[in-house]
Amino acid sequence: MNSNDKKISLPRLYIPSNEKIVNPLSTGIKASNLSKKNTQKRINPQFYNQQHDLNNHFCVIVGSEYVLKIIALQQSLMQYSEKFTLWICCIDPFAYSLLKEMSLINVNLLQVEELEDRELKAIKRKRKVNEYCWTLKSVLIEYLLVNYDLPSILYCDGDLCFFSDPNIIFEEWGDHSIFLTPQRDRDWVEKMYGKYQAGLIGFKNDLYGLKSVRWWKNKCIDWCSAEAEEGKFGDQKYLDYIPIYFPKVKISNNLGINAAPWNCIYNNDYKIDKTKNDIFIENDKLVVYHFACITIFTENDFDLWSLGEISIPNNILNHIYTPYLERIQFVLKQLKDKFNKDTKQFLSKKDINKAQTLYKDSQLRRKMNQSNHFMNFSMIISKERLIQGLTSYYSLENFNAKFTVWICCMDDLTYQILEKLKLKHAILIPVKEIENHELLSIKNDRSLQEYCWTLKAPLCLHVLSLYPEVDHIIYCDADMYFFTAPNIILDEWWKYSVFLCPQRSSTEIESIHGIYQAGLVGFKNDQNSKEILTWWKDKCLEYCNNQYDVEMNRWGDQKYLNHIPNIFSNIKIMTHKGIDAAPWNVILNSSSISKTDNKVFIDQDELIAFHFGSMQIINPNEFDLWKQETLELPPAVLDYIYIPYIEQLNKTCHTLHNTFQKSPSSLFADQIDTTTIKNYFKYPSPHHN
């Protein structure tokens, strides 16, 4: 016999004990206890043969930590499969007793002792729990095929969940003896950990099905470690050789079978969408998804990928993860109702603070999941900036932007007005909720404007802390107006912690006021961003005056931004001229302004957001467009930028008037000395009638 013959020769039948196997497929549909001791094994092939055309057989291994996921798997099979049997091998008494009490439909329970012989028991003492479970896969598969005369068995990891009829798997499997699913991972990962996924694998009860599973079993008994070495890893790397050593192997080419984070989230660029009730990965219907490395802390708190921090697109969260988490939540409720006791024993005891991809399931988070371009803004509004702030909010609504804005209300009047307007995308925060001893100690020493500047970082920290499900926050000045949906901000920013917008102004202005704009700045909900926000907060508590400090080279909250790229990492400096455009960079730089197909362009970049800083509303028809100095505004700037904004300000005034049945005159600027107006504009002007 040559070496290759030896590798795939048929070993002895693996029957570890002298227990009788009772008929698990009785007419009853509840879970069967197959653990009957001290009796002789008897098989009824005729009965099982009658079942071959009716049932698809699945098997799974479960311990205490996987009970919730196993029940979710069983429920997904109940939803999408008309005929199936799920064989569950329990590796500890807790899992067995609980699942037995649950009486799950179409489930047959086994205890691990039924499979174990002396050799396996010796291995069990030497291997970690996960390594031993990996070792047991092939043992369980062979045990079920031979002792229950099953036509085939599909092994599933406990963290799989079905999204459509699993018959698609068996149809693709066809007449082949073995069914494998490719990882579709990075080349170096597959080289080290294997090309095929051991979390979903099938074997037929035929010559090559049995030969291959017994070869795999012997390999895993010899070695099965979670530490990769010498071309081996766990039970999985061995699968690379199955298509080489054995005929009749079907390698799935269906992207919807054993989809997983490693082939749908951080690798490949598959189009994933939902059509009616079905989810598609490219053109393949999603059949089963592998929710690997999920940790369940509470019914609402999860680590979606415990191996490291990954960014999961919102459409995948919405269409795939949310339905699965709902299953987990439903199972938790079932267990609580059935056993009338605390569900903590079913939850992870790991430290939630060490979660890598922390996810809080909430109505807000589910709202965010509706779009990959859902945006979270924060804004500070006082009655002096209420009209501008509302107009900024409405500009986002006008373009059907998916967003939430947290508005810090600086006074009771602002809060009352905004609350009465019932802004569906806004969450109102009275300033008192943010104020602490540090802020209150400096409040009376600063002007309203200076205090608002001081509050920017505390507001962002407040939102990120109070709403951990929020993955980012963009601070936006109240006098920012959006000319189109600002999706490009997320596209440009996506892999960075923080984004900053350059002033793009004159050397003189930048030397005093800073090279970055504090009116639009974004922070991810990560440790790096929180450290930056804390640093910015502390600097602003020390000094945040509207006077340039020559000695310390600081001004307001803004000049501090100069230092952020120098002392922190992972900062995105926006280069798109249409993001945070403003008088100080459009007019002073004599940028080209044009309009094509209702889109405004600054040089070659589409105008996204314009910062109408230092603009004063005298009344609904009169304005000082730029109170800092006299400028000559080009006609294109007036026609394409300022007048559309003024028209929207007018609409906001009408909304306030209609809602409260009185003029919003108290919200306009205080009595202005007309001799100080630098760039007076009346609308409608004679030229624009």
pLDDT at 597: 95
pLDDT at 14 over 60: no
Which residues, in sequence order, are CB contacts of 633 under 8 Å at separation 6+? 587, 625, 626, 642, 679
518-538: per-residue pLDDT in tens? 999 999 999 999 999 999 999
CA–CA separation, 412 and 106 (whole Å): 61
Q: Buried b / exposed e across 329-345, counting CB within 10 Å, b at 16+? A: bebbeebeeeeeeebee
Q: Which CATH number fits domain 373-681: 3.40.720.10, 3.90.550.10, 3.90.1150.10, 3.40.309.10?
A: 3.90.550.10
What's the number of CA atoms in the CB half-sphere (13 Å) around residue 61?
A: 22
CATH node for 3-255: 3.90.550
The answer to whether 315 and 372 are in contact (CB under 8 A) is: yes
Domain ranges of the chain: 3-255, 373-681
Beta-sheet strands, E only, within 196-320: 200-204, 249-251, 257-259, 272-275, 278-281, 284-285, 288-290, 295-296, 301-303
227-251: per-residue pLDDT in tens? 999 999 999 999 999 999 999 999 9
352-402: per-residue pLDDT in tens? 999 999 999 999 999 999 999 999 999 999 999 999 999 999 999 998 779
Q: Which amino acid is at 483?
A: F
Query: Is the peptide bond preceding residue 684 cis, with omega within 30 degrees of 0?
Result: yes
Band (545; pLDDT cuts 50, 70, 90):
very high
Strands 616-619 and 472-476, how do they pair? unpaired
The answer to whether 8 and 245 are in contact (CB under 8 A) is: yes
Asked if the domains 3-255 and 373-681 are classified in one and the same CATH topology, the answer is yes
pLDDT at 54: 62
SS3 174: coil
pLDDT at 656 over 90: yes
Percent of the chain with pLDDT over 90: 83
pLDDT at 431: 99
| Residue 193 structure tokens | 């950990």
pLDDT at 284 over 60: yes
pLDDT at 3: 34
pLDDT at 10: 30
Compute the mean pLDDT over every residue in the chain, rounded to the nearest whole number: 90
Of the candidate ranges 89-98, 227-236, 667-676, the one whose mean pLDDT is the lowest: 667-676
Strands 599-602 and 593-596, how do they pair? antiparallel
pLDDT at 614: 85
Site of tokens 């704009």: 517
pTM: 0.83
pLDDT at 410: 98
Q: Compute the average pLDDT of residues 580-604.
A: 94
Band (675; pLDDT cuts 50, 70, 90):
confident
Quickly count: other Cβ atoms within 10 Å of residue 127's Cβ: 15
More confident residue, 18 or 152: 152
DSSP symbols for 406-423: EEEESSHHHHHHHHHHT-
Handedness of CA 506, 511, 517, 522 (dihedral sign): positive
pLDDT at 117: 96
| Cα–Cα nearest to 529, from 475, 449, 609, 491 | 475
Distances (CA, A) of 556 to 72, 452, 465, 588, 608: 54, 10, 25, 22, 26
pLDDT at 52 over 90: no
463-489: per-residue pLDDT in tens? 999 999 999 999 999 999 999 999 999
Beta-sheet strands, E only, within 348-465: 358-360, 375-381, 403-409, 426-430
